[in-house]
Copies of this chain bind each other. A is one copy, B any other.
Amino acid sequence: MLKIANYEFQSHLLLGTGKYSDFNLQKKAVEASETEILTFAVRRMNIFEADQPNFLEMIDVDQYTLLPNTAGAKTAEEAVRIAKLAKASGLCDMIKVEIIGDQKTLLPDPFETLKACEILLKEGFIVLPYISDDVVLAKRLQELGVHAVMPGASPIGSGQGILNPVHLQFIIQQATVPVIVDAGIGSPADAALAMELGADGVLLNTAVSDAQDPVKMALAMKLAVEAGRYGCAAGRIPKKTYASASSPTEGMSTVES
């Protein structure tokens, strides 16, 4: 079970809602993923523009927990403003703080993110910051009281998978709040690895939306997250340099005899 603040989820897979060209396909992918949490960019959702189509109108929103994000924000001030707008809409009291500090890599700004989290926590939000895999940054944010940390695996939409499993594992080992790996997941093996390392959840978007078959990939991701979670709980074998026979035949009755 994934617990974020007072919310509880059976699924450990979070899905973004951007980039799909076809709302029907998207709906099927969302269903195949069995996700319970959908994140969306407040700035992108035309909440207040009734004349434009919107994916959230397509689905039974009561079935999902909506996680608005502050995509598009470059400063704490902008992020706070977007978060308040989301809250005012009554959709959710959770907010994914996403403040980009570099447009080429879309990597997050640690300083503006910390500042925004501080303000939003005081305002009573449930705060989930998207961060780099800086271990001390994760530590400082959880000391501040954030409800989860969301380190990126690699740049948003790059599909490069987990560039630095060592940093990710350090973040997980010292975590006192859920760690949700966000951004950069490219394939089911990436998602499984994140969970095996001990992550509490995986958030992805492009890996499913831009796959050749988004519905099938959504299913694959669901299975991969479960596989990784069971794999983590099952306690994997250590890696060894040399071989160790799975069919030892020493001292066995030999067929030669």
Bound-state CA distance A207–B161 (Å) is: 23
Q: Assess whether A223 is in contact with B233, with CB atoms less than 8 Å apart.
A: no
Q: Assess whether B255 is in contact with A43, with CB atoms less than 8 Å apart.
A: yes
List residues 200-240 of chain A with CB under 8 A from any CB of chain B.
205-207, 209-214, 216-217, 219-224, 226-231, 233-240
Closest residue on chain B to residue A140 by CB atoms? B111
Contacts of A230 in B (CB 8 A): 188, 216-217, 219-220, 223
Q: Assess whether A136 is in contact with B101, with CB atoms less than 8 Å apart.
A: yes
With A110-B134, A137-B134, A206-B237 as contacts: A246 and B213 at CB distance below 8 Å: no
Bound-state CA distance A230–B218 (Å) is: 9
With A106-B243, A211-B234 as contacts: A135 and B135 at CB distance below 8 Å: no
Q: Is A10 an interface position by the 8 A CB rule? A: no
Q: Is A21 an interface position by the 8 A CB rule? A: no
Question: Of B85, B229, B249, which one neighbours A43 at CB under 8 angstroms?
Answer: B249
Question: Of B114, B217, B246, which one neighbours A234 at CB under 8 angstroms?
Answer: B217
Q: Is A244 an interface position by the 8 A CB rule? A: yes
Contacts of A107 in B (CB 8 A): 134-136, 170, 243
Can you identify 24 A-B contacts, CB atoms within 8 angstroms? Answer: A18-B245, A19-B246, A44-B252, A78-B256, A102-B136, A104-B242, A109-B136, A110-B136, A132-B137, A157-B246, A161-B239, A187-B196, A187-B236, A188-B230, A189-B190, A189-B228, A209-B246, A210-B237, A211-B237, A216-B233, A221-B231, A222-B227, A223-B226, A223-B227
Give 14 new A-B contacts, CB below 8 A, not counting A211-B237, A223-B223, A223-B224: A19-B246, A43-B255, A44-B248, A72-B252, A111-B140, A154-B166, A155-B166, A156-B245, A187-B192, A189-B189, A216-B233, A220-B228, A223-B230, A227-B227
**Residues of chain A having any CB pair with chain B under 8 Å:** 16, 18-19, 40-44, 46, 49, 69, 71-72, 78, 81-82, 85, 98, 101-102, 104-111, 114, 132-137, 139-140, 154-161, 163-164, 166-167, 170, 174, 186-193, 196, 205-207, 209-214, 216-217, 219-224, 226-231, 233-249, 252-256
